[in-house]
């Protein structure tokens, strides 16, 4: 399972520079509003030292990481819903992503023009949120019209849905995000097919000056990155990048921070498999049980699941091999109700 993250923001906040750094894919990052007309998509391997260490232990021929897809969305401006800038061309692309990064400009550079003429991250966030809310209202209005017809037809589903639609309309018109309005799981299911933008998990990422970057998380709970530093890291080898981060007094890159936060807000975990042929990371939703996790590897594995042999990755590494881990009794036998944990190394046993 891979997942996708859309990068949104006003023009000239560093979206294309960050995207280029994250994916090492060449995109037009000119100092010009709306240079990103069509979305750029790049698939990035999720950094995972656990897989690297397991591959070394198992002498694996291949090391396969789970992936994240980054989608660089064309720059938003105030009143995009009324056709300003590129209008709502971004919508069809952003509706498909699992989470949204709000990239907000805090860096100072007189040569890079801010579309509003001033650097104000709080104002930028408000502009982006409002455009997403307006887009959701347009989607909602269409559904309300349809639901009224269904109500006149006396459809049971329409009666059940109407209070949630009205609650959503009131909240969106008051400037609230859908995820702040709809918190009940049953209501979320009722409106799931609307594919609302403001119900998606969101990560606020401040693009700050490179001399102000640190590993400290802000009190306001947003991530801080420097797109310039990320661009420099992208041109270095893994060893050189690690040394450069150390020189800057950083423990991890902006990419690492973003991916960790994405896993957190999307409630994802990774389980691992290892052997001579390959060592691999597999991503599943938190709470996934062993048979369904096996099904991620192959659909027949879920259907024919018998049991799972499970050990924590660090315990396996400490033992040095699966044989040694079995001798020490550290490999557990788990059944159909076992809930996968992050860092589990698993061998699934299936019937025919």
pLDDT at 59 over 90: yes
Predicted pLDDT of residue 29: 46
Predicted pLDDT of residue 234: 87
User: Could you state, in order of their start, the residue ranges of all structural domains in the chain?
Assistant: 287-350
Predicted pLDDT of residue 78: 63
Q: pLDDT tens digit string along 13-56?
A: 888 888 888 877 544 444 445 454 455 788 888 889 999 999 99
Q: pLDDT tens digit string along 225-268?
A: 898 899 899 888 889 999 999 999 888 888 888 888 999 999 99
pLDDT at 135 over 80: yes
Q: pLDDT tens digit string along 65-106?
A: 988 888 887 666 566 555 555 545 666 677 888 999 999 988
Name the one residue in this structure whose structure tokens are 């369904």: 292
Predicted pLDDT of residue 178: 96
Q: What is the largest CA-CA distance in the chain?
A: 69
Q: What whole-number percentage of the chain has pLDDT above 70?
A: 85
Predicted pLDDT of residue 116: 60
Where residue 221 falls among pLDDT bands split at 50, 70, 90?
Answer: low
Predicted pLDDT of residue 123: 85
Q: pLDDT tens digit string along 305-350?
A: 999 999 999 999 999 999 999 999 999 999 999 999 999 999 999 9
Residues placed in the known binding site for ATP: 12-17
Residues placed in the known binding site: 12-17
Yes or no: say if 24 and 237 are a contact pair by the CB < 8 Å rule: no
Q: What is the 3-state secondary structure (H, E, C) of the chain?
A: CCEEEEEECCCCCCHHHHHHHHHCCCCCCCCCCCCCCCCEEEEEECCCHHHHHHHHHHCCCEEECCEEEEEECCCCCCCHHHCCCCCCCCHHHHCCCCEEEEEEECCCCCCCCCCCCCCCHHHHHHHHHHHHHHHHHHHHHHHHHHHHHHHHCCCHHHHHHHHHHHHHHHHHHCCCCHHHHCCCHHHHHHCHHHCCCCCCCEEEEEECCHHHCCCCCCCCCCEEECHHHHHHHHCCCHHHHHHHHHHCCCCCCHHHHHHHHHHHHCCEEEEEECCCCEEEEEEEECCCEHHHHHHHHCHHHHHCEEEEEEEEHHHHHHHCCHHHHHHCCCCEEECCCCECCCCEEEEEEECC
Predicted pLDDT of residue 13: 85
Give the residue from 140, 116, 261, 260 showing the smallest Cα distance to 198: 140
pTM of the model: 0.81
Predicted pLDDT of residue 8: 87
Sheet arrangement for strand 40-45: 40-45, 67-72, 3-8, 99-105, 202-207, 223-225
pLDDT at 203 over 50: yes
pLDDT at 172 over 80: yes
Predicted pLDDT of residue 151: 94
Predicted pLDDT of residue 32: 44
Name the one residue in this structure whose structure tokens are 């259907």: 303
Predicted pLDDT of residue 192: 92
Predicted pLDDT of residue 88: 59
Instruction: Rank 2-11, 29-38, 267-276 by mean pLDDT and report only the highest.
Output: 267-276
Q: Which CATH class is domain 287-350?
A: alpha beta
């Amino acid at each position: 399972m891979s997942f996708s993250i859309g990068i949104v923001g006003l023009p000239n906040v560093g979206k294309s520079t960050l995207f280029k750094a994250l994916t090492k894919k060449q995109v037009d990052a000119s100092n010009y509003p709306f240079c990103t007309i069509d979305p750029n998509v790049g698939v990035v391997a999720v950094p995972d030292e656990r897989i690297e260490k397991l591959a070394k232990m198992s002498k694996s021929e291949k090391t396969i990481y789970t992936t994240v897809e980054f989608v660089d969305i064309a720059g938003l401006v105030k009143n995009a819903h009324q056709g300003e800038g590129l209008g709502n061309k971004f919508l069809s692309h952003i509706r498909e992503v699992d989470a949204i990064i709000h990239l907000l400009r805090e860096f100072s550079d007189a040569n890079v023009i801010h579309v509003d003429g001033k650097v104000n991250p709080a104002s930028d966030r408000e502009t982006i949120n409002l455009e997403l809310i307006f887009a959701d209202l347009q989607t909602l209005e269409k559904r309300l019209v349809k639901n009224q017809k269904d109500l006149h037809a006396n459809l049971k589903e329409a009666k059940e849905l109407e209070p949630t639609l009205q609650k959503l309309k009131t909240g969106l018109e008051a400037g609230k995000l859908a995820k702040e309005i709809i918190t009940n799981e049953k209501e979320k299911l009722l409106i799931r097919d609307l594919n609302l933008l403001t119900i998606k998990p969101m990560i606020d990422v401040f693009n700050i000056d490179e001399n102000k970057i640190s590993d400290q998380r802000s009190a306001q709970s947003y991530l801080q990155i420097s797109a310039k530093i990320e661009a420099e890291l992208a041109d270095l080898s893994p060893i050189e990048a690690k040394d450069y981060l150390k020189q800057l007094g950083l423990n991890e890159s902006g990419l690492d921070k973003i991916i960790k936060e994405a896993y957190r807000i999307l409630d994802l975990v990774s389980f691992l498999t290892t052997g001579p042929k390959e060592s691999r990371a597999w991503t599943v939703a938190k709470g996934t049980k062993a048979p369904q996790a096996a099904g991620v590897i192959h659909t027949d594995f879920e259907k024919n699941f018998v049991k799972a042999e499970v050990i924590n990755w660090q315990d396996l590494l400490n033992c040095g091999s699966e044989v040694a881990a079995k001798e020490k009794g550290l490999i557990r036998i788990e059944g159909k109700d076992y809930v996968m944990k992050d860092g589990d190394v698993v061998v699934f046993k299936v019937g025919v």
